[in-house]
Structure 1
Amino acid sequence: MKSKNPLIPFLLFLLIFFFLNTYTLSGLQFFSGNPLLPLLFWTFVLLLCASLIIAFRRIPRRGMDGFFKIISHAFLILLVSEFIFVLSLAPGDIYRLILHQPRNYAWVVFASAMLALSILTFIYGMVRGKYAYRVIRHVLEFEDLPEAFDGFTITQISDVHAGSFRNRKAVSRGIDLINKQQADLFVFTGDLVNNKASEIVPWVDLFSTIRAPYGQFSVLGNHDYGDYVKWETEANKRANLEQLKSLHKQMGYRLLLDEHVVIEKGGQRIILAGVENWGLGFGQRGDLKKALQGTQPDDFKILLSHDPTHWESEIKVLPAKIHLTLAGHTHGMQFGLEAFGIKWSPVKYRYAHWAGIKEENGRYLNINRGFGFLGFSGRVGIWPEITVIELRKKP
């Protein structure tokens, strides 16, 4: 089979980018007829593009340093803001072309306001939004929940990505908010780091303060294995993973590697299992059969599995019923809208269900939106999440 020509999508992107900038400039020119405006506008755009190319070429030598982050984020803000400007202005332009009328001043003002609002929203997301922790609560009812666990609470976080953190005071506030929930059980569902175990070391003391009466448990995510960086030797990569595992233990987290534990309360029990990362397109290391070995068919089971595609592909159809699966991974793409009854993020085109609770045949999945951030150093509309789930016995 012939591989796809990468030049075609690149040329398509250039065409779209040129259109966005040309259309945006036409809107800005509505307010000013200064002949220097097009020159200044295109000079800025070309300088930004040239800087982005330079930033990418520096990655092999300097990695994704401060220069790369500034330029890449500026380019992203420009692209998304212009896209919103075009979406806002186009309906008015189509209407006036049909009626053969000049551009409406109020419509251009509206589109320009949306452009400015988009830029300001991105700046907020980069400065404050990425640490704007939210507690999201769910009450789930089960007919076969053991009586002793009626009202049992679980606090879940996911996708810490410690290598992205810079604000210790803000992260500390998030951890204080976790402890404030006073849940019976604490779980972490993977991606403690971006690539290397050393990234969590400066934060171990903070995450070590998280405690729950029935323990703290964790699993690994796709980023925890060090698959996305080059290692001098395979032995170094293995050593990195072993270091990460030991840091889980140092923080007081029981790392579940295709295994389960029994949680006992009032003479009754539930099963908490955890698998290594299993995800479509992100490695299928986990062994669910091994994790459940020794459990009984009528046991109430909770599973920690980082990638929600595991639930869709295997867990929800497993003969041995898993009542609740806790996952993360999607981050809600760190960008979207969850307000006024709207729940939308571009990540929906990769994951049909990308955040919150989903239920099929009495089996529940919760996807945590993530505690940290990766790539884009911010969050816009999809805020960092601390989940609290209360288990209830269905009357």
Structure 2
Amino acid sequence: MAKRLPLIILLWFCTDLYFYKAIHTLTRAADYLWIYWVIDLLLMGGLAAVIFVRRGSQMQQTLITWVIGLMLLAFIPRLLAVPVLLIEDLSRLFRGFPPRELWVSELAFGVAAVMFLVVLFGITRGRHFYRLRRETIWFPDLPEAFDGFTITQITDVHSGSFTNAAGVQKGLDLVNDQQSDVILFTGDLVNNKASEMDQWIPAFAGLKAPTGKFSILGNHDYGDYIQWESAEAKHANLKRLKQVHSEIGFRLLLDEAVTLKKDDQSIELIGVENWGKGGFHKYGDLEKATASVPGDAFKVLMSHDPSHWEGVTLEHDQHIHLTLSGHTHGMQFGIDFLGFKWSPVQYVYKQWAGLYQNAGRYLYVNRGFGFLGLKGRIGMWPEVAVITLKRGSR
């Protein structure tokens, strides 16, 4: 983040200077103009403080939450208003640069005001604005007994970010309402420490599924992002987190597979530890996880990071029919409407939200149940996914 700070500051002030033209057209009152710049300086000071506060401390986490939210609230509305001003300036270029039209500045300010309300909703209510997403996937070799088998997937709970019990319960009730055959959780139960789950154990233990509840670890579950007093303390934290999975009724799969049976037929559910590109640890071992899995079995894989799909799974000698991942959160910011989706995270992850397919192998990337860093979601709402397996071809 420190390396990107100069670029962030440059983009911020370039946008500010441009939008300032609209403000200056609408009002010349010195008080308002001074407030405009003081807010910017305070936000930049907050961003600098995040860099210099002790890494992983509670103070840094609190600063990150507030600074990200306030920066988005100030930056996004202005950024989206800039094209309105730019279009007029292109017109003015061919007209000898006459004074800016008042109505154009009013329009730009109106666009900014609307986006301000959208962002405000996202950071105040978006964190628990759960959306149900359904996918039906057809497989010619799915065992007949599993035709219509339903999976509810949740991922990236990040319980250390929760403060609203009623909001969390709203999402858990949505999970139970689906009455799916199985519930799968694909990693990041906590931000850093197992103790973050203590108050939420009863709520998550209330999730029900007739065929069972299964889970894996995500990159945040290992405690790699904070400083521990000793290696023993870090190890004890991970051991405790594994116990928490049991206490909430989930069978934690650690590079292993379990057989799900129905009417004398079966499918294999595989779970790997976290494996990711781009500096993330590669704990997961798919070879180990599939060592006892029959080659002709129908396989569902839980793998937290979607980069594992192209990095390992597609090239694996065993045909993995369906992989379920999370990790990206859809960056908790973007546009996801009527089939169109966009988020800055797509420039980092090729597969970042929704369903993907390659030669009969499918990947579903869940946008996440919780939130981290930004204490909210803007356009990229929290998700409960229901996937129905069907036998045959679509």
TM-score where L is the length of structure 1:
0.94
1:93 aligns with 2:111: no
Q: Distance in 1 between matches of 2:243 and 2:285?
A: 21
The secondary structure found in structure 1 opposite 2:43 is helix
1:22 alignment partner, one of 17, 36, 50: 17
Tell me the amino acid that sits aligned with residue 95 of structure 2: L
Q: Which amino acid aligns with 1:183?
A: S
Q: Where in structure 2 are the equivalents of 1:337-352 lying within 5 Å?
A: 337-352=335-350
Render the CA deviation track for 1:34-86: whole Å, top value 9, x for unaligned: 24443332223223333443455444665236465334421232222222222
1:1-395 alignment runs, 5 A limit: 9-54=4-49, 56-59=51-54, 62-64=58-60, 66=62, 69-100=65-96, 101-280=98-277, 281-394=279-392
Aligned residues of 1:56 and 1:68 also touching (Cα < 8 A): no
- Superposed displacement of residue 295, structure 1: 1.4
Structure 2 gap ranges (5+): none
Contact persistence 1:131–1:171 (CA under 8 A): yes
Classify 1:274/1:51 alpha carbon distance in 2 versus 1 (closer, same or farther; 3 Å): closer
> 3-state DSSP class of the match of 2:323?
strand
In structure 2, do the counterparts of structure 1 residues 8 and 139 end up closer, same or farther at CA, with 3 Å as the change threshold? closer
Distance 1:65 1:373, change over 3 A: closer
**Aligned residues of 1:328 and 1:367 also touching (Cα < 8 A):** yes
Summarize the Cα distance change of 1:208–1:367 in structure 2 as closer, same or farther, 3 Å threshold: same
User: How far did 1:19 drift?
Assistant: 1.6
Equivalent residues of 1:302, 1:322 under 8 A apart: yes
Question: Given the superposition, is the C-alpha separation of residues 14 and 236 from structure 1 closer, same or farther in structure 2, using an over 3 Å criterion?
Answer: same
SS at 1:269's partner residue? strand
- d(CA) in 1 for partners of 2:132, 2:196: 25
Q: The residue matched to 1:242 in structure 2 has which SS? A: helix
Change (3 A) 1:213 1:11: closer
Q: Which amino acid aligns with 1:358?
A: Y
1:27 offset after TM fit, Å? Answer: 0.9
| Aligned residue type for 1:99 | R
CA contact (8 A) 1:356 1:367 kept: yes
Partner AA of 1:182 in structure 2: Q
The TM-score, its normalising length taken from structure 2, stands at 0.94
Distance in 1 separating the partners of 2:168 and 2:3: 42
Deviations, residues 71-113 of structure 1 (Å, cap 9, x unaligned) = 4421232222222222332122222222334323333222111
56-65 or 148-157, larger mean C-alpha shift: 56-65
Instruction: Give per-residue Cα distances to partners, 1:271-290, cap 9 Å, x unaligned.
Output: 00100001112111111011
**In 1, Cα distance between equivalents of 2:150 and 2:392:** 15
Contact 2:205 2:249 (8 Å CA) reproduced: yes
Paired with 1:170 and 1:97, the residues of 2 have a C-alpha distance of 51
User: Residues 378 and 33 of structure 1: is their aligned pair in 2 closer, same or farther, counting only changes over 3 Å?
Assistant: same
- Structure 1's unaligned 5+ residue stretches are 1-5
Separation in structure 1 between the aligned mates of residue 346 and residue 340 of structure 2, nearest angstrom = 13
Structure 1 residues 289-298 or 262-271, which shifts more? 289-298
Aligned match of 1:3: none
Q: Hey, which bits of structure 1, 4+ residues long, moved more than 6 A?
A: none
